[in-house]
Chains A and B, each alone.
Chain A
Amino acid sequence: MRFHQGTVLLVAVLGLARSVGAAEPVTIEYWHINSPTFGGPAAKELVQLFEAKHPNIKVVEKFQPGVYTGLMQQLQVSLAAKRPPAVAQIGYNLTAYAAGQFPHVLLDKYRKSDPAFFKGIPDNIMALGVLGGTLHGIPFGVSTPVMYYNADLFKAAGLNADQPPQTWDELQRQGAIIKQKTGKLAVYLQQPNDEWIDQTLIWGNGGRPLSEDGKRIGWDAPEAMEAMQMWQDMVNKSKIAANLTWEEGLQAFLSGHVAMCLTTIGRQEHMRRNATGFQVRAVPVPRFGSKPLATATGGNVLMIFASDPAQEKAAWEWIKFVLSPEGATIWTKGTGYLPPRAELANDPRYLKPFFDEAPLMKAALQTFPYTKPWVSFPGPRGLEITKILIKARDEVLEGKRPAELILKEATQQANALLPK
């Protein structure tokens, strides 16, 4: 009897200790696109540090192949099965679709409960997670397009490698010289399965990818048509630009067959390590004449898909951690993405040493104040609109018809798919 009483007492004490000392552990899933060669180790390091600081939260990080589109496919399926991750990276180009179609947590309430977290994130960056005046996601990865160039090819063409082109006119002049003197192509603008660089050209020439009211696609505006015609002419008339798939274009630049390459700063580490036999440098993308620099912002927001309050709370803690100075430092070092908290770049405790040792990153920092949104097309047919515009670019670069005709047709098709 005495034994039984002792056992009961022990169980009661242990139970009390458990309920007082520690809350029930919560496990959340975090989906990302960071492969082992692009930020995967940084994602694991963030999880380890976070779990050390939050012993009651376990984060299961899951890499999703196929970049943002691949992640969206898996996310859609997981939502259909009612087992979504608590937090996922959503590319800026897909944010409107995800916000409009997927059940998720709206984040404006945290502006009130956690004002300190939002301090230090510039408005133009925080705007990347805002749609229709509502905060749907927290900007996490921020990348800008930059222009990498082969300094040795510039020298071989008799050009000053310290003065690469700053405008498209200069690029075309210098490009013609490079082609004539070295026989190499002058430039490659990235052509993956998205229209990021196209939006950069449109913003840069003073256009808008989408009207402010979201009712009209901007690909048939004079600024857009002029920019795309310039690209077509560089490929087909002056023949200084390469029309290649993304992989081919990167290989061509890294092997010294193309002098300049416009792509993401997220590739800086890859460029630095793989440029064979030449010095790679980076500058901001060229401007259109005297117009100010403007580039579409790449990267992703973190959106919360957890429906359980405990999971949502844990997810918010995770987001706060990865965007804290400590988390953002690990993230930027591991990926080359810019930190949403710009001041970290000048802070010797965090990212200043990294930026001092990574000269290519300076081009992105110079671009940072001029970033514009990578417009995500609204409505359930938004993803098809993107594809229509990619197909139009393909046709423009083939050069069989003038850009104006192609873009007007594509815009008409795309406009019909926008929500009325």
Chain B
Amino acid sequence: MMEATALGAATARSRTRASRRWRGAAVGHLYLTPAIVLTGLFVYWPLVASTVLSFYDWNLVSPTWAAVGWQNYRELIASRAFWMSLVNTGKAAAALTVLTVGVPLLLALAVQRVGPRWRDLYRVVLFSPTVISMAIACAVWLWIFHPLYGVLNTTLRLVGLQGPAWLSSSDSAIWAIILVTVWKTFGFNFVLYIAGLLTIPREMYEAARVDGASERQLVWHVTLPLLAPTTLFVFLSTFILSPQNLFIPTQILTQGGPNEASNNVGYLVYQLGFEYFRVGYASAAATLIFLVFLVLTALQFYLAERRIHYGR
């Protein structure tokens, strides 16, 4: 009888715990529901709709969608504009990765070594471009790039060099766009690194010093490994956001020209969809680009995860 009572009590406790867990999980799901619904509605549903649309020809106005099978994809793969924009995006992603992942890291390490007053000054100076509107920044850069009397070419002439027509030459236009994008996004990554450096516990350095580590070894064996999660985030966000960050300078400075020389995948999708009104074709481009970036991002995750040390 006693055993039965104890068993019953244990079962009841177990039920209560399960019930609590279930209720806890239900509340969790409930809290997540708005985010999930909105993400589904504004991210995943457009993704699915865009993929479906990529098999149709539609101009936004026509009451019917004409099914065209794989035609949009075939046309895209045969198009010079698509490959040019993909190559340019690759160039930009590589340049941005070096210039806005590597250089801000070095500067953040340097800023950590100067006194607090200088540190604040450097932070303000290096972060300022980030808070300036990109459209306004582009207007200023338009003047800087002016081949006849812009600051850039005037300075180059002072040292005996002839600068190009930055925005009108197919050799330089994409680099002009990259330069503006680097200038604009550089400061944000710099601040992320500063924040990352502050999370590294001081005792790690003290322990390493006690073990006789040199300053270079501290950076190499303590700072960089413990900063790896920040580096991964900076690297991925720079890479994934590069087409978006390139959009405004491209729109304002070159409209993808001359002759596609400064086009990139984000701007190409916009052109196809909202300049030519070929929404199905633009969706095919968006889908292909999504797949390319998905594969590259997964690869980065896979490679980076193996070398990253989270937490203490």
Which residues from chain A sit less than 8 Å from chain B, CB to CB? 69, 73, 76-77, 79-80, 101-103, 185, 191, 193, 242-245, 247-248, 251-252, 255, 257-258, 380-381, 383-384, 387, 390-392, 394-395, 397-398
Contacts and interface: CB of A to CB of B under 8 A. Distances in A.
B258 interface: yes
B132 to A, nearest CB: 19
Nearest to B274: A73
Secondary structure type dominating chain A contacts: helix
B61 A102 contact: yes
A185 B170 contact: no
B260 A384 contact: no
Q: Which of B61, B143, B167 has the most CB of A within 10 A?
A: B61
Given A79-B60, A193-B257, A387-B271, 4 more contacts: A248-B167, A252-B149, A383-B277, A397-B168
Contacts, number: 82
B169 interface: yes
Interface pairs A-B: 9 shortest CB-CB: A394-B258, A394-B259, A80-B60, A391-B259, A79-B61, A257-B148, A395-B259, A73-B274, A76-B60
A185 B167 CA distance: 18
Contacts of B254: 245
A76 B60 CA distance: 7
Nearest to A185: B148
A257 B257 CA distance: 24
A77 B60 contact: yes
Contacts of B277: 76, 101, 383
B142 interface: yes
Contact of B149 (A80, A243, A255, A392): A255
B102 interface: no
B196 interface: no
19 contacts: A69-B275, A76-B61, A76-B277, A101-B62, A185-B148, A242-B148, A244-B147, A247-B142, A248-B168, A251-B143, A380-B59, A383-B276, A384-B278, A387-B276, A390-B257, A391-B257, A394-B261, A395-B170, A395-B258
Nearest to B57: A380
Nearest to A79: B61
* Interface size band for B: 20 to 34
Contacts of A397: 168, 258
Contacts of B60: 76-77, 79-80
A420 B264 CA distance: 32
Interface string B256-268: 0111110000000
Nearest to A384: B276
Contacts of A252: 146, 148-149
Interface string B277-290: 11000000000000
Contacts of B168: 191, 243-245, 248, 397
Given A101-B61, A102-B61, A248 B255 contact: no
A390 B255 CA distance: 11
Contacts of A193: 255, 257
B188 to A, nearest CB: 27
B137 interface: no
A395 B261 CA distance: 10
B165 interface: yes
Contact of A391 (B143, B145, B149, B260): B260
Q: Which of B167, B257, B278 has the most CB of A within 10 A?
A: B257
A243 B165 contact: yes
A400 to B, nearest CB: 8
Contacts of A384: 276, 278
A394 to B, nearest CB: 3
B59 to A, nearest CB: 6
B255 A244 contact: no
Nearest to B281: A384
Q: Which of A103, A390, A394, A397 has the most CB of B within 10 A?
A: A394
A363 B60 CA distance: 41
Nearest to B169: A398
Nearest to B167: A245
A398 B148 contact: no
Contacts of A101: 59, 61-62, 277
A193 B258 CA distance: 10
A384 B146 CA distance: 29
A332 to B, nearest CB: 30
B234 to A, nearest CB: 33
A103 B167 CA distance: 39
Nearest to A184: B148
Nearest to A398: B170
A234 to B, nearest CB: 15
Contacts of A79: 60-61
B61 A398 contact: no
B10 to A, nearest CB: 63
B258 A248 contact: no
A398 B147 contact: no
Nearest to A244: B168
A80 B277 CA distance: 12
Interface in B132-175: 142-143, 145-149, 165, 167-170
Contacts of B147: 244, 248
A392 B259 CA distance: 7
A184 to B, nearest CB: 9
Nearest to B251: A66
Interface string B226-258: 000000000000000000000000000111011
